[in-house]
Amino acid sequence: TTVPDSNPQSVIIMSRNEHEHEQEERNPTTRLRNPTTIYKTGVTNIMKPFGVALISHDENAKCYNQLFTSINALAVQEFNQPCLINHVMADGALGITSSQQTVFPHSRRMMCWFHMIQKCRLHRNLVTKEQWVSIDADIHAVQLSFSDDVFNRGIDLLIQKWSATPATKKFSDYFVDQWITKLPYWYEGAAFGKPSTNNGCESMNAIIKQKYTLRNKLHLSAFLPKMEQMLTDWSEASISSPFATATSISPDMELHAYKWSVSINRSDILHWFNTFYVVPSSTTTITPSVWLDLYRSGQWASFDDFVAWQTSCWLVSPLTSCTCPIGLKQYTCKHSVGLGIVFNLYQVTDKTRCEPLGKRKGKGRPKKVRTALLL
């Protein structure tokens, strides 16, 4: 069953570890009466954010098994069906990986990109300073792979590149074991259009510590009312600032997009299929059709060729997605909005239209030089 928007309902379950001794304290399952947080994003796409807190003193697999099983039980209880978890995003904790394989075997175990690069940096002493600068840039470049195919080809070329130098072999071996064999899903295309870090979750955790638990370890009897207060606060706040179901387009983004839309040479926009178009980047040396041929064949001679290809053109769906770094990380960019403007799918405000095109308002980076000749 679905709950109508006009009568949303919040369900917050707090589970606790069976090793806890406060059996008499309180029923660990707390249900808030109102207000609620269930949102509909469309007829077929129903999003129901909810939180499950697991109170535990360790982070072993058993604890996560209980958490994931609780999520499933909650979905069955509230929505009459088990939840289809497509992605489990977390840091590299082994307990999470093994529980995900047990409880959600069909989901993809995402690795938080922020934690991943942090771990890599801890191994920088396996190479020289100069080598690390280049390796760090390589990892950042391949992280922007927008699909599994692109990543798989890119990572093969990257390992080839690193293996060619004996001095980087140690780091390369570590990298292959940790970030290709064990936890390979840290690139953008591993879950296209979804977050590549768990930063949002971590910052929520920081808020809990700053504003509610005040960094104290609370006894369960003090902790539960605190959590109830917190969840009431959040539920009430969600009325005035509702859960976002679409990325908003800021006036600044609109202006960038408008400028891009009037400067792009329309013959450089290549329609691929459905709503997908290939557009040249500001530094491209190849045409969109050459770019597309390379994409289809996957025939990059080296990792550096691969990176040059990756930054030459963007695959854009107007107002929906773009494979440029901003589009991948922020879900909206001048290309996707700009193509929307080009195809009259998006109306710019009069204020944006009146903005002098040659001049930039206020401070900011100088305008990038556009490669004049498209080969």
d(CA 15, CA 31) in angstroms, rounded, equals 11
Tell me if 136 sits within 8 A of 219, measured CB to CB. Answer: no
The 3-state secondary structure of 65-111, one letter per residue: HHHHHHHHHHHHHHHCCCCCCCEEEECCCHHHHHHHHHHCCCCEEEE
Q: CB 354 → Zn ion: shortest distance, Å?
A: 24
Element (H, E) at 313: strand 313-317
Q: Compute φ and ψ for 13, nearest 5 degrees.
A: -105, 130
* Choice between 255 and 333, CB closer to Zn ion: 333
* Choice between 141 and 333, CB closer to Zn ion: 333
Q: CB 332 → Zn ion: shortest distance, Å?
A: 8
* Choice between 147 and 232, CB closer to Zn ion: 147
* Choice between 203 and 250, CB closer to Zn ion: 250
Token pair 């095109």 in the structure block, residue: 357
The type of residue at 304 is D
Question: Considering the rule CB under 5 A, would residue 150 count as an interface residue with Zn ion?
Answer: no
Q: CB 147 → Zn ion: shortest distance, Å?
A: 16
Binding residues among 294-333 for Zn ion as defined by CB under 5 A: 314, 322, 324, 327, 333
Whole-angstrom CA distances from 131 to 93, 125, 128, 170 are 28, 10, 5, 12
Binding residues among 330-359 for Zn ion as defined by CB under 5 A: 333, 335
Number of residues lying near Zn ion (CB under 5 A): 6
Q: CB 336 → Zn ion: shortest distance, Å?
A: 6
Question: Considering the rule CB under 5 A, would residue 53 count as an interface residue with Zn ion?
Answer: no
Token pair 């690069």 in the structure block, residue: 117
Q: CB 226 → Zn ion: shortest distance, Å?
A: 43
Q: Given the rule CB under 5 A, which residues bind Zn ion? A: 314, 322, 324, 327, 333, 335
